[in-house]
Amino acid sequence: MVATHLLILLITPTIAIMRLTSIRALVTRPMEQAEPLAEAIRARQGYAGILPMLVIQPLTETPFMRDTILSLDQYEKVIVTSHHGAAYGLEKIDNYWPQLPVRQTWFAIGRKTAKTLSCFDVSPQSPGDSASSEGLLALESLNNVSGQRILIIKGEGGLTLLEDTLSERGASVSTLAVYCRQCPDYPEHTLENCLKDDVINTILCASGETLSNLMTLAGKTPLKHYDLVVPSERVAELAYNAPFRQIIIASGASNDAMLSALETLELQKK
């Protein structure tokens, strides 16, 4: 559990639009994903700076990657775990499969991943608002998978909940990593200067890896003056030894969930 001296708030997205005039946020998503959230904060009259704590790079094609793609028709189900997995994975698959295999069911975690797949004429099943591995595993179509072959298209490393659970359910699971996540290489004091120069009071971290990179790059920079917004208690636990002013647990990593968490902070500051 998270340290008891930290204030933990469970946030549920709200419908009403609130001004965020007291919020000066640092958005740490990869640049492509950071811009929409930053613009949404600015539209509510808050301040949003961007300093990505994660760099996404496509992996160079290997013989294993090529062989896996060539055997795509041997899988009854294909799961794509992220927008980047969809973009980089389908780009590579398109080189060998101008037309995708028939009678194959695709799955996507999250609406953005599903939308990216739709650009390649794939209509995936998705858990909707439950944009997580747990939400996907709750789908009825992934419960009775004994004897089936399933391919998971993902980033290098990361959690193994999907493959472990589906294997326990009797499926033969293979994974295909098509991109990697890297900690950005900034000049010394970049993060410290960004926090001070932009008078940041809130840091948004949408994943555990993003938070870990933030704390690595922070070095000796004190974080006790900043509120931290994270998408889950699991990610919050990673900040156990980092003395943030308080940790806000949003209802997920979506822009709406993060904005709702900022609304709670705005109310506190009034």
- Do 149 and 198 lie in a common domain? no
Share of the chain above pLDDT 70, in %: 93
Instruction: Report the C-alpha gap between 114 and 70 in whole angstroms.
Output: 23
- Do 194 and 227 lie in a common domain? yes
Per-residue model confidence (pLDDT) at position 69: 97
Whether 102 is covered by a domain: the verdict is yes
Range 183-209 average pLDDT: 94
Question: And the tokens for 198?
Answer: 């932009």
- Do 154 and 198 lie in a common domain? no
If one counts the domains in the chain, the total is 2
Per-residue model confidence (pLDDT) at position 87: 95
- Do 194 and 155 lie in a common domain? no
CATH number, domain containing residue 193? 3.40.50.10090
CB-based contacts of 136, cutoff 8 Å, min separation 6: 79, 107, 109, 126, 127, 130, 142, 162
Strands 172-182 and 55-58, how do they pair? Answer: antiparallel
Model confidence at 8, pLDDT cuts 50, 70, 90, reads low
Model confidence at 112, pLDDT cuts 50, 70, 90, reads confident
Sign of the Cα pseudo-torsion (211, 216, 217, 218, in order): positive
- Do 28 and 66 lie in a common domain? no
Model confidence at 135, pLDDT cuts 50, 70, 90, reads confident
Instruction: Report the C-alpha gap between 234 and 189 in whole angstroms.
Output: 28
Polymer length in residues for the chain? 270
Whether 1 is covered by a domain: the verdict is no
Per-residue model confidence (pLDDT) at position 157: 85
Whether 2 is covered by a domain: the verdict is no
CB-based contacts of 120, cutoff 8 Å, min separation 6: 86, 90, 94, 100
- Domain boundary residue, one of 163, 182, 201: 182
DSSP letter for each residue of 107-160: EESSHHHHHHHHTTT---B--TT--SHHHHHTSGGGTS-TT-EEEEEEESS---
- Print the domain residue range for 124: 57-182
Per-residue model confidence (pLDDT) at position 3: 47
- Do 87 and 131 lie in a common domain? yes
Q: Tell me the per-residue pLDDT of 216-261, one tens digit each, with 9 for 90 and over.
A: 999 888 899 999 999 888 889 888 777 899 999 998 888 888 999 9
- Do 98 and 153 lie in a common domain? yes
Q: Tell me the per-residue pLDDT of 20-54, one tens digit each, with 9 for 90 and over.
A: 999 999 999 998 889 999 999 999 999 999 999 99
Q: Tell me the per-residue pLDDT of 70-94, one tens digit each, with 9 for 90 and over.
A: 999 999 999 999 889 999 999 999 9
